[in-house]
């Protein structure tokens, strides 16, 4: 089992929600962290609170869709701490909408998802994650680090109406652990660098709390647990995935028993 004490995590989207929760959970167990987010105020707040509690953290305002920002982030972890043990690319966005909408009276198409609405989600949730993990994996290999790359997929990967952009990006997150595990195995690296994904259901973060109350009520009614998942419950799973090296190359669901798929 790996120890969290003195291990180094690189976390994007660390100024809010799941990224913030994993940062707090990791540091609460003796880890060190390099935090990134696109919102400077959020990042400052999290960094300030953690430092005030005595944590060793570095922070970088970062747009994960930019190649150079990801390179700076991974390099900062090595400069500051000399290694990377956990990578959690939690920066993500939703921009929901139907691909094609129709007028209730005429039945004719009266709206469609724009390229911009589709592409913006792919840029952050897929291309951004690729860039973060590529840069961090390179530094992990070259610094002789041991640890885990933990992607954030979603139950939405199974297909949710109104989320063709988001569901597609999250389906990609559930296949990347298999691709990377095979690639690392080929290069005799899979015994020290693992890749997995967690696939949460609906988590009580700003991303979900921003939904209108009626929609949120409908969602919770489908969860046998009877409530949203807490960000700390995701953080706890990620830390266990880090510690237990037998957990590799797969997707781990965490959704309180949610009914899977979409009703349309």
Active-site positions?
166
The verdict on 174 binding ligand NAP (CB under 6 A) reads: no
Nearer to ligand NAP by C-beta: 113 or 229? 229
Residue 75 beta carbon to ligand NAP: minimum distance, rounded to whole angstroms: 17
Residue 89 beta carbon to ligand NAP: minimum distance, rounded to whole angstroms: 8
Q: With helix as H, strand as E and coil as C, how does 34-73 read?
A: EEEECCHHHHHHHHHHHHHCCCCEEEEECCCCCHHHHHHH
Round to whole Å and give the CA distance between 240 and 107.
50
Name residues whose C-beta falls within 8 Å of residue 243's C-beta, 6 or more positions apart in sequence: 1, 2, 3, 4
Measure Cα distances from 157 to 130, 179, 203, 216 in Å.
Answer: 17, 17, 15, 19
Stretch in the footprint of ligand NAP (CB under 6 A) among 63-71, 102-110, 137-145, 219-227: 63-71
**Both structure tokens of 209:** 């709390």
Q: What residue number has its CB nearest to ligand NAP?
A: 17
Round to whole Å and give the CA distance between 32 and 43.
16
Alpha carbon of residue 44 to chain centroid: 20
Decide if 133 contacts 149 (C-beta within 8 A). yes
Q: Which of 44, 63, 67, 250 binds ligand NAP (CB under 6 A)?
A: 63
∠ Cα 63 124 27 (to 5°): 65
Stretch in the footprint of ligand NAP (CB under 6 A) among 1-9, 91-99, 111-119, 176-184: 91-99
The verdict on 177 binding ligand NAP (CB under 6 A) reads: no
Decide if 9 contacts 33 (C-beta within 8 A). yes
Nearer to ligand NAP by C-beta: 39 or 179? 39
Residue 160 C-beta-side C-alpha neighbours within 13 Å: 22
The verdict on 203 binding ligand NAP (CB under 6 A) reads: yes
Residue 102 beta carbon to ligand NAP: minimum distance, rounded to whole angstroms: 28
How many chain residues are in contact with ligand NAP, going by CB under 6 A?
A: 31
Residue 255 beta carbon to ligand NAP: minimum distance, rounded to whole angstroms: 9
Q: Which of 32, 42, 47, 194 binds ligand NAP (CB under 6 A)?
A: 42
The verdict on 135 binding ligand NAP (CB under 6 A) reads: no
The verdict on 154 binding ligand NAP (CB under 6 A) reads: yes
Residue 188 beta carbon to ligand NAP: minimum distance, rounded to whole angstroms: 31
**Both structure tokens of 106:** 């005429």
Nearer to ligand NAP by C-beta: 3 or 41? 41
The verdict on 92 binding ligand NAP (CB under 6 A) reads: yes
How many Cβ atoms from other residues are within 10 Å of residue 156's Cβ?
A: 21
**Beta-bridge mates of residue 57:** 33
Residues contributing to the site for ligand NAP (CB under 6 A): 12-13, 15-19, 37-39, 42, 62-65, 90-93, 124-125, 128, 152, 154, 200, 202-203, 205-208
């Amino acid at each position: 089992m790996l120890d969290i004490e003195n291990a180094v995590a690189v976390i994007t989207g660390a100024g809010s929600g799941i990224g913030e929760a994993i940062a707090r959970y990791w540091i609460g167990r003796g880890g060190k962290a390099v935090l990134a987010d696109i919102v400077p105020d959020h990042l400052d707040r999290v960094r300030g609170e953690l430092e005030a509690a005595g944590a060793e953290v570095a922070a970088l305002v970062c747009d994960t869709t930019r190649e150079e920002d990801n390179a700076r982030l991974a390099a900062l972890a090595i400069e500051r701490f000399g290694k990377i043990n956990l990578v959690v690319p939690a920066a993500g966005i939703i921009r929901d909408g139907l691909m094609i909408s129709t007028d209730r009276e005429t039945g004719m198409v009266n709206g469609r998802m724009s390229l911009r609405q589709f592409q913006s989600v792919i840029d952050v949730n897929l291309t951004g994650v690729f860039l973060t993990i590529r840069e961090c994996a390179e530094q992990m290999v070259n610094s002789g680090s041991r640890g885990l790359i933990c992607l954030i997929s979603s139950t939405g990967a199974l297909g949710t109406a109104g989320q063709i952009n988001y569901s597609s990006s999250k389906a990609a997150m559930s296949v990347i652990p298999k691709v990377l595990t095979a690639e690392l195995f080929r290069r005799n690296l899979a015994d020290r660098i693992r890749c997995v994904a967690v696939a949460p259901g609906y988590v009580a973060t700003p991303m979900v709390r921003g939904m209108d109350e009626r929609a949120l009520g409908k969602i919770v009614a489908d969860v046998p647990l009877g409530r949203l998942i807490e960000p700390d419950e995701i953080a706890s799973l990620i830390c266990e995935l880090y510690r237990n090296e037998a957990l590799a190359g797969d997707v781990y669901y965490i959704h309180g028993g949610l009914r899977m798929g979409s009703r349309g």
